[in-house]
Amino acid sequence: QFNNVPVVGRNGYIEADTAFHNDISPVKVDLVFGTFRSEDTSQYLLPVVKRAENMVVNDTSSHDYLSPAGIEGFTKSASSLLLGDIDQLWKDGMVFGVQCIGGAGALKIGAEFLSRYMNCTTVYYPDPSYEIHGTIFEFSGFVNTFEYRYLNRETKAIDFDGLCEDISNASVDSVVILHACGHNPTGLDLTKDQWRIIAEIMKERKLIPFFDIAYQGMASGDIEEDAWAIRYFHSEGLQFLCAQSFSKMFTMYNERVGNLMVVLKSGFNSDSLKIHFERIVRTLYSNPPNHGARTVFQILSNPELYKEWSSSFKSMVVRIIEIRRAFRKALEEEGAPGKWNHITDQKGMFILLLLTDSQVEYLRYFHHIYMVKSGRINVTGLNFTNISYVAKAINDTLRK
């Protein structure tokens, strides 16, 4: 009966977001969701997306169903962003993609496949990580969902020895989720040498890498550089999955554009493998929607639009870097206790302030500043109008 369903409350992002919207204070600051904001706090929409959308709408002559694996041109150009020239690999079936409902959808389809058809039961993901990594795999039948050490909360740096030790102890066929760049929420990425070591461990322990890339280009400012780890794993002959999100890169959060890239070694019957993925999609939502993926494909396949996208995208990255610098400076000038170099050392859309639950609550109730657990903030929720207010509030909170 329905009344036997356990009663739960909202938590995490949704709870913080709802509380922000219910707050009537004129000084309130929203640092919760990772959507790109302009200086005036409005949601930023890349102008090239608007242009491409208009083209897509004009070209639409029917709303026929897509195939369960989606638009092949889209999955191929999306996969090329990750691996470079893949023409031959694509023809040979060594790389293929499944259009998914955002990056989260790609994680879900991958998790279902690994659980159903590869009998995987164990997944490792970083501590901390994207909020729902563990739950997605748990809901797909994984009985062991383990965190591996990633952030050293004392030094605010990566605990690389801990990471290596944890994944070295993983049993054969464990799935290991790896943030390819712009790690959410720490903004701390592995160096190339560290990636080389991780690839070795993966091979030796026969682990299954599952990359998650939601911020390609937003960490280093360079699309190719941010895909380095993925390219390296491929060059080392590893087989893996990669959940790719276009939400942040194209400021298209609600169109749910994602791709699950599957990378194989030769000798596989990839056609049969694809059918398994299609069956999973078919039972979950039958087939994906058209508009968002078609828009991204339009941009990726049209050199003029692509050029415009890369240049506006670079300005977004510049804004992130400027805000990081200004925020660190404001906290230092304020004399807020602690060191703040990690704000400019970390990369991407998030800053992890490492605050306690009560400090996060204090900021909410006394200063109307909203963020998620541990003090993860969206960098672009800050702007040159509110930075000093937020820095003062953090100083006050840390001194309580």
Asked if residues 328 and 343 have their Cβ atoms less than 8 Å apart, the reply is yes
Should residue 187 be labelled a site residue for ligand PLP when binding is judged by CB under 6 A? no
Please, which residues have CB within 8 angstroms of residue 114's CB and are 6 or more apart in sequence?
120, 140, 175, 208, 210, 241
| DSSP helix/strand/coil, 366 | helix
Asked if residues 111 and 163 have their Cβ atoms less than 8 Å apart, the reply is no
Instruction: Supply 87's token pair.
Output: 């023409």
Nearest CA to 267 among 239, 231, 233, 236?
A: 239
Should residue 374 be labelled a site residue for ligand PLP when binding is judged by CB under 6 A? no
Beta carbon nearer to ligand PLP, 351 or 391:
351
Number of chain residues interacting with ligand PLP (CB under 6 A) = 12
Of 74-82, 96-104, 114-122, 197-205, which part binds ligand PLP (CB under 6 A)?
96-104
| Shortest distance in whole angstroms from residue 385 CB to ligand PLP | 25
Torsion over CA: 216, 221, 224, 225 (sign):
negative
Should residue 348 be labelled a site residue for ligand PLP when binding is judged by CB under 6 A? no
Question: Given the DSSP bridges, would you call strands 257-263 and 95-101 parallel, antiparallel or unpaired?
Answer: antiparallel
Of 57-65, 98-106, 269-277, 292-300, which part binds ligand PLP (CB under 6 A)?
98-106
Torsion over CA: 84, 90, 92, 94 (sign):
positive
| Shortest distance in whole angstroms from residue 211 CB to ligand PLP | 10
Beta carbon nearer to ligand PLP, 34 or 381:
34
Should residue 34 be labelled a site residue for ligand PLP when binding is judged by CB under 6 A? yes
| Shortest distance in whole angstroms from residue 257 CB to ligand PLP | 7
AA identity, residue 285? Y
| DSSP helix/strand/coil, 181 | coil
Radius of gyration of the chain (CA): 21
Instruction: Supply 360's token pair.
Output: 């996060």
The Cα-based distances of 356 to 312, 352, 366, 371 in angstroms read: 36, 11, 15, 12
Should residue 290 be labelled a site residue for ligand PLP when binding is judged by CB under 6 A? no
Please select the residue that binds ligand PLP; options are 80, 184, 259, 295, rule is CB under 6 A: 184
Positions 193 through 222 that interact with ligand PLP (CB under 6 A): 212, 214
| Shortest distance in whole angstroms from residue 258 CB to ligand PLP | 5
Beta carbon nearer to ligand PLP, 179 or 234:
179
Asked if residues 266 and 94 have their Cβ atoms less than 8 Å apart, the reply is yes
Should residue 288 be labelled a site residue for ligand PLP when binding is judged by CB under 6 A? no
| Shortest distance in whole angstroms from residue 62 CB to ligand PLP | 27
Positions 260 through 279 that interact with ligand PLP (CB under 6 A): none
Beta carbon nearer to ligand PLP, 34 or 134:
34
| Shortest distance in whole angstroms from residue 253 CB to ligand PLP | 6
Interface map 128-147 toward ligand PLP (x if CB under 6 A): --x-----------------
Should residue 179 be labelled a site residue for ligand PLP when binding is judged by CB under 6 A? yes
Nearest CA to 249 among 241, 259, 239?
A: 259
Beta strands in the chain (DSSP E): 29-30, 95-101, 122-127, 144-149, 151-152, 157-158, 175-179, 208-213, 240-245, 257-263, 350-352, 369-370, 376-378
Of 19-27, 102-110, 159-167, 319-327, which part binds ligand PLP (CB under 6 A)?
102-110
Please select the residue that binds ligand PLP; options are 70, 102, 187, 217, rule is CB under 6 A: 102
| Shortest distance in whole angstroms from residue 102 CB to ligand PLP | 3
Positions 50 through 89 that interact with ligand PLP (CB under 6 A): none
Residues binding ligand PLP (CB under 6 A): 34, 102-104, 130, 179, 184, 212, 214, 245, 247, 258
